[in-house]
Amino acid sequence: MDGTRQPNPVITFYRAMPDCRAPIRADTSVLGTLPSRGFQYCEALRSASSFGWYVFPPIDFTLQWDGSQVIWTYRGARSWYALTSAQFPGYAKQFDRAAPARLRGFAPPFLTALAEPGIVQLWTGFFVETAQDWSVLVRPPANLPRSLGFDLYEGIVETDRWFGPLFTNVRLIKTDVPIHFSTETPLVQVQPLHRSTYADEVSNRFDVCADPRAFPAAAWERYEQTIVKPNQDPARPVAAYSAAVRRRRKSACPVHAG
């Protein structure tokens, strides 16, 4: 892979539900929820938070699990409904009007109660496609405080080869209480991964230096530069690491002629 060139775009979101909220770039402040000191000075926190895109639920809805059965309702519904597999309200007809004739009747379900107790598959309302050799990691939003009522599984999908609905699997934790999902709160964070970064030959190739007496001199020199010397300097700048990372990023950005 040529490290100086990236495909443009790396990812395309296809909005299959016309009215659902569009994805947005993930935010360094996690939508204003980070402590101000962390936002200002901790570049590691900012970088992890802003890596990828937020995708939101397509509608405000609520799930409830009694340990055996899941029921659900949504904004504007007249009742609760037992969940097996449910279409997004009114969507099946919308899909059939938009899809080629041979694909009518194959609208993806919005919610599906899986065979495992308390596990619900949820469709975001989008299809997703990535450039060649790029995949997506679908995970909970980084550093956003999480609901105590549910958790999300993480998954990597080779979306350059597999084109289809952007799903996530929700694990309900609490029983006998309503668990709300809002279009105002990101549901998942979608992050781009080049396939080479998670290949077995990369993950299997690591080393452990088990005794500090065996650390090479270069490692101790790097520790001295990054930890010891800055702490010996009474006039050291605040957040030097963050400033250095931001300078490198700025200098690496290509300049486009106007």
Model confidence pLDDT, tens digit, residues 62-87:
999 999 999 999 999 999 999 999 99
Give me the pLDDT at residue 230, please. 87
CA nearest 21: which of 53, 77, 59, 49? Answer: 59
Residue ranges covered by each domain of the chain: 11-202, 212-252
Answer yes or no: CATH 1.10.1270.20 is held by domain 11-202: no
pLDDT of 247 reads: 72
pLDDT at 123 over 50: yes
The pLDDT score that the predictor gives to residue 104 is 97
So what's the pLDDT on residue 234?
A: 81
pLDDT level of residue 252 (50, 70, 90 thresholds): low
- Give the chain's mean pLDDT: 91
For residues 33 and 242, the model is more confident at 33
pLDDT recorded at residue 141: 97
| 140: pLDDT strictly greater than 90 | yes
Section 202-223 average pLDDT: 96
- Taking residue 34's Cβ as centre, other Cβ atoms within 10 Å add up to 19
pLDDT of residue 4: 47
pLDDT at 255 over 50: no
Q: For tokens 């006998």, what's the residue?
A: 176
